[in-house]
Amino acid sequence: MLHANQAAHAWQGSLERDPWVGGMSPQARSRFFQRLSDLGAVDEFEVCWSGGGTPTWALISARLIDYQGQRAVLSTFTPINKMKLMESRLELWAKVFEASAESLIVMDADMRIITVNQAFRRHSLYDLVELVGKRPGFLLAPDNSPEQLDSLRRTLARRGYWQGEISVQRKSMESYPAWLVMNAVRDLDGVTTHFIASSLDISERKASERQIEHMAHHDALTGLANRHVSKLRLAAAIAQARRSGEKVGVLFVDLDRFKHVNDALGHHVGDALLQSVSKRLLQLVREGDTVSRLGGDEFVVILNGIGDAQAIAALLDARLIPAMREPHQVEGNELYVSCSVGVAVYPDHGDDMDTLMRHADAAMYQAKSGGRDHARMFTPQMQEQQLQQLHLESDLRHAAERQELVLYYQPRIDARSGCLNGVESLIRWQHPQHGLIAPDSFIPAAEESGLIVSIGAWVIREACRQQVAWREAGMGDIAVSINLSAIQLKSGGLAATLREVLREFAVTPGQVEFELTESILMDNVDDTIATLHAIKALGFALSIDDFGTGYSSLNYLCRFPLDKLKIDMSFVQDIHGSPQNLAVTKTIVGLGHTLGLSVTAEGVESAADADVLRHAGCDELQGYYFARPMPQAQFIVWLAQSAAPRAA
């Protein structure tokens, strides 16, 4: 060291030592001196200088000079610690800027793009060079409303800030929704120097919002509008019709015997059938009409802009009902399903939504009880009938305790000998106001309300009591068959009821037979088999009723401990006029006999029917031809007078 001014002392440690050795790393030193020797001068060589103790960033400039006759190096030190700090911060911010998931655009005061980050380049598909110097207007998609853009400009100018949803156009001309935040950057004097736009692509969020919205308004299984939307659409259709003077049709569509499909083939087949029905309904209506699913197998169709009610009737009879009857290809099955439809028309049958829905429902109920597979238009009488039905259902609660229930008995005749085999007990309700009510009018309501369990228990006790009474009257053991409902079977207490009955009445269990329909048997097969075995273990007989109408699986049929098959009446009636019915009947007889079951034909109305059925191989016959169901007193008279002697 030949000379150092006062300021330079701080950069040097001990004056005896070579400052360059302690000041710089060997690599930096070799670069520095190489440059000095090559050029004779070094300007602003940036280095982390350790010669003064604490390492300090510095710019060193040096010249080779002649000093007092010797070659020397003149160097100056400029501390740049603060600059380096700022530089490293800037580098960090640059990295943050580039790595940000938000799209960022930096613009000058004239709104010309200075730079954009990687996220923006990725979303917009533009390169930086294509953007720099341009105003960002061309990045906005045409579907942004002029009002919205105007609000952006005005708010940004006034408050220096704007945020909102905007549609951004990519280079490929597609657009995407983005949440944009615009900020004006101001200097200390409040003058805007830059604008920064940060935006987030919200396509995914919008898609999930749309999905949630869709789920809230649509039925998950079929994709149809749900009850909520159906009501909104009906309200809108009524409002529109009020202005235009047109009509609105409200159709309640309910599938017939859908439960059988579900029970027999499983819920996945039932679901697929509902989807197929939905598609068919959608194909039948015009654009602007609404098809919705209320739940289960219930659909509501709203027809807009109808000229007159007859047009709806024509649509139903000519298109909807026939289209439903067409087979549905579902999971390898060819399924046939029909529907019952109730129709209410605005303004003819009501001028508000609730009334129309209620009236369409009442009409559908009538279509169901009127034999299914057709449509009914609402009439004021239906309302009355529905009201009566409601009263009937509430009266039913007290029918048993008021002793209004009675059993009728219909003889079952041995096909070969013509002797009485036994009787089927059939319930009637002797209503104080409405007279004798047939089971079809109240059993469904009893099943729905669960009352069937106590009513059914009453039937079992009464039939057993009667059997004992006949025996005590010297008429011997007359076999009785008793209908069981699915609800009774599922209720769990059936075996206990039967044990109690056996304790209370001295019946011969083998002379008491329970009739179950196919659909009951096929519902929840494993539990049913267990219950049937429990009934069988008590000694009772079991038969399968209305055979041929359901979806019996032959595989299961062998596993049920059955004694008898009763062929459904629909095959028996017109048996001598219909070769198909005869063929089905013969097949069922063959099947029954193969399985070791006796076969009964019910609904025999004429001697000719009886003849054919006898020849077809039926073991037992039952029907109006022999006797109608009758109260027990009348049955005794019939038996005394009848040509049907008691079986030996």
Ligand X SMILES: Nc1nc2c(ncn2[C@@H]2O[C@@H]3COP(=O)(O)O[C@H]4[C@@H](O)[C@H](n5cnc6c(=O)[nH]c(N)nc65)O[C@@H]4COP(=O)(O)O[C@H]3[C@H]2O)c(=O)[nH]1
Q: Helix or strand or coil: residue 190?
A: coil
Q: Which residue is nearest to ligand X (CB)?
A: 623
Q: For ligand X, give the closer residue by CB, 548 or 629.
A: 629
Tell me the closest approach of the beta carbon of residue 324 to ligand X, in angstroms: 26
Work out whether 518 is an interface residue with ligand X (CB under 6 A): no
Q: How near is the Cβ of 628 to ligand X at its closest, in Å?
A: 7
Distance CA(445)–CA(359), nearest Å, equals 19
Mask for 277-296, x = binds ligand X (CB under 6 A):
--------------------
Instruction: Indicate which single residue of 356, 459, 507, 601 sits in contact with ligand X (rule: CB under 6 A).
Output: 459
Can you tell me which residue has the tokens 């025996």?
A: 471
Of the pair 169, 497, the CB lying nearest ligand X is at 497
Residues 44-83 touching ligand X, rule: CB under 6 A, are none
Nearest 5°: the CA angle 545, 371, 610 is 45
CA dist 172 and 348 (Å) reads 55
Smallest distance, Å, CB 440 to ligand X? 5
Q: Is the dihedral of CA 445, 354, 350, 252 positive or negative?
A: negative
Binding mask 21-50 for ligand X (x = CB under 6 A): ------------------------------
Asked whether the CA dihedral 390, 392, 393, 397 is positive or negative, the reply is positive
Residue 281 or 427: the one with the smaller Cβ distance to ligand X is 427
The CB-of-477 to ligand X minimum distance in angstroms stands at 20
Decide whether 375 or 460 has the Cβ nearer to ligand X. Answer: 460
Are 197 and 182 within 8 A, CB to CB? yes
- Interface of this chain with ligand X, residues 386 to 445, rule: CB under 6 A: 410, 426-427, 438-440, 443
Choice between 108 and 500, CB closer to ligand X: 500
Contact indicator for 241, 335 with CB cutoff of 8 Å: no
| Contact status, residue 98 vs residue 118, Cβ threshold 8 Å | yes
Query: Helix 353-369 vs helix 227-244: angle between axes, to the nearest 10 degrees?
Result: 110
Nearest distance, CB of residue 455 and ligand X, angstroms: 7
Distance of closest approach, residue 466 Cβ to ligand X, in angstroms: 13
Burial class, 541, CB count within 10 angstroms (exposed 0-12 / middle 13-18 / buried 19+) = buried
Going by C-beta distance under 8 Å and a sequence separation of 6 or more, which residues neighbour residue 295?
219, 227
- Residue 482 or 597 with smaller CB distance to ligand X: 482
Distance CA 278, CA 300 (A): 11
Residues 576-635 that bind ligand X (CB under 6 A): 602-605, 623-624, 629
Min separation Cβ 568 and ligand X, Å: 8
Size of the residue set binding ligand X (CB under 6 A) = 21
What spatial distance separates the first Cα and last Cα of the chain, rounded to whole Å?
144
Looking at this protein, which amino acid is placed at residue 390? Answer: L
Q: Which of 289, 546, 619, 620 binds ligand X (CB under 6 A)?
A: 546
Q: How far is the CB of 459 from ligand X (least distance, A)?
A: 4
Parallel/antiparallel/unpaired status of strands 333-335 and 339-346: unpaired
535 binds ligand X (CB under 6 A): no
CA 560 to chain centre: 35
Cα 415 versus chain centre, distance: 52
326 or 440: CB nearest ligand X? 440
Shortest spacing between CB 428 and ligand X, in angstroms: 7
* Least distance to ligand X, CB of residue 614, Å: 16
Residue keyed to tokens 């290809």: 329
Residues 460-499 that bind ligand X (CB under 6 A): 483, 485
Structure tokens at 99: 């790595």
Reported as type and span, the H/E element at residue 343 is strand 339-346
Here the tokens at position 556 are 């299961």
- Among candidates 170, 84, 74, which has minimal Cα distance to 127? 170
Residues within the interface to ligand X (CB under 6 A): 410, 426-427, 438-440, 443, 456, 459, 483, 485, 515, 545-546, 602-605, 623-624, 629
